[in-house]
Structure 1
Amino acid sequence: MNLQDVLPRIHWLGHDSFRIDGSKVVYFDPYELSTAVPADMIFISHEHFDHCSPSDVDRIRKDSTVIVTDQASAKKLSGDVRVVRPGDRLEVNGVDVEVLPAYNTTKKFHPKTAGMLAFVVTLDGVRYYHAGDTDFIEEMEGLEVDVAFLPVSGKYVMDADEAVLAARAIRPKVAIPMHYGAIVGSREDAERFQKALEGQVPVVILEKE
């Protein structure tokens, strides 16, 4: 994977929201979007309002858009919605999808029993891991991914120090911090994450679009 080719395709839209412009336009957790590029696929990690935003989904959804999410979120959405659970694997329009869990280990906001989601999406030969709202969990160990989107803000998710442990366990070709700058967390959390991983895992802090 050539980072110079891949990074320009990745757009951080704030909080946990990303858009990847590849052979398919893929979104993760669209929320408070400032632009509305039509989506081929939308991945939604769980039902909380800052991740499952039906109004934002409707702004980018086409008739052919496929939405992949959990049962709780699916109840709020319309269109071609595919309900999945941790452990599922599927292929949609040539895009390989592995569904993983996302949960807290020391907090009550995202219990494992709720079945909230993370995703490994293989698009154009690049494996993207969107960790969802999570702490550092055992399911991260040994993941073979190129790009890892990891929360860093603490309180509801893992903080920067815990995210460092996650990045060391995953060893992606690049880690991109998320879950800051809206609701909770700041750029300082992302910078602390980046500094702690110098010489170990490349970290790119994206500017919000």
Structure 2
Amino acid sequence: MRITKFGHACVRIEHDGAVVVLDPGVFTEAEALDGATAVLITHEHADHVHPDLLRRSDAPIWTIEAVARLLREQAPDVAERVTVVRPGDRLDVSGLPVEVVGEKHAVIHPDYDRFDNSGYLLTVGADAVYHPGDALTAPGRAVDVLLSPVSAPWLKVSEAVDFVREVGAPRSLGIHDRVYSDIGLDMVASHMGNLLPEGQEFVRRQPGEDL
């Protein structure tokens, strides 16, 4: 298995010919889609879905109804490749088992309506890899690699730490990281190092770097 971090919330997973790209948005490098065999999108915000970027690939797309609706309005040519998923669905995505987890975005502010959001738990060979999107919804089973949000208007560092602790993955890769400066991201990594229990590792990667 190869896991590559791309800009902000986008991660690319390669295994046995499958190339699954999760959440390619406006902060994602175009090459993230090169050779993609499937795309998974957690929710409708532009930092997670970008129609022009999706046009770089003809790979099938799995996502929730809110994203499908957005693509039907803004990019009907892309929407033709969409399969709508629902919480609890179990999928076969390029030969990889995928479970759809959760249905709501984290609260940004109580005065805003809640957005829909579903994360994806992928079984990649012997490993389970979890991308929660913009939510702190634990998958309810063991995870080997957590793709962990670290900076957002809806997220405090203490919440990020507690989420990594709750999921309990041996390795957590920081994602959703465009909001903070390098100094802020160094602070997050320091807190993770100080507060995670033995047996849990938190790592940072630059866009294009592998885990």
Shared fold (TM-score, shorter chain, > 0.5): yes
Contact 2:24 2:48 in 1 (8 A): yes
Shift of 1:95: 1.3
Q: 1:191 to 1:87 in 2, by over 3 A?
A: same
**Residues 99-129 of structure 1 deviation map (CA, whole Å, 9 limit, x = unaligned):** 0124224635672xx4311110112232110
Contact 1:29 1:51 in 2 (8 A): yes
Q: Are residue 92 (structure 1) and residue 93 (structure 2) matched? A: yes
Q: 1:203 to 1:73 in 2, by over 3 A?
A: same
Partner of 1:3: none
Q: Which 5+ residue runs of structure 2 have no aligned equivalent?
A: 72-77
Determine the C-alpha separation between the residues in 2 that align with 1:27 and 1:87.
20
Counterpart residue identity of residue 4, structure 2: H
Contact 2:41 2:62 in 1 (8 A): yes
Contact 1:69 1:84 in 2 (8 A): yes
What secondary structure, in the 3-state scheme, does the structure 2 residue paired with 1:14 have? Answer: coil
**Residues 78-114 of structure 1 deviation map (CA, whole Å, 9 limit, x = unaligned):** 3421101112112233211110124224635672xx4
TM-score by length of 1: 0.81
**Residues 132-178 of structure 1 deviation map (CA, whole Å, 9 limit, x = unaligned):** 012x34xx16431111011111413x232211111111111211111
Determine the C-alpha separation between the residues in 2 that align with 1:155 and 1:19.
24
Partner of 2:74: none
After the TM superposition, list the runs of 4 or more consecutive aligned residues in structure 1 that deviate by more than 6 angstroms. none
Q: How many residues align?
A: 191
Q: Are residue 146 (structure 1) and residue 144 (structure 2) matched? A: yes
Q: Which 5+ residue runs of structure 1 have no aligned equivalent?
A: 1-5
Bigger relative contact order, structure 1 or 2 (CA pairs below 8 A, ≥6 apart): 2
Shift of 1:26: 0.8
Shift of 1:197: 1.9
Q: 1:52 to 1:106 in 2, by over 3 A?
A: closer
- Give the counterpart of 1:49 among 46, 50, 54: 46
Partner of 1:128: 129
State the superposition RMSD in angstroms.
Answer: 2.2
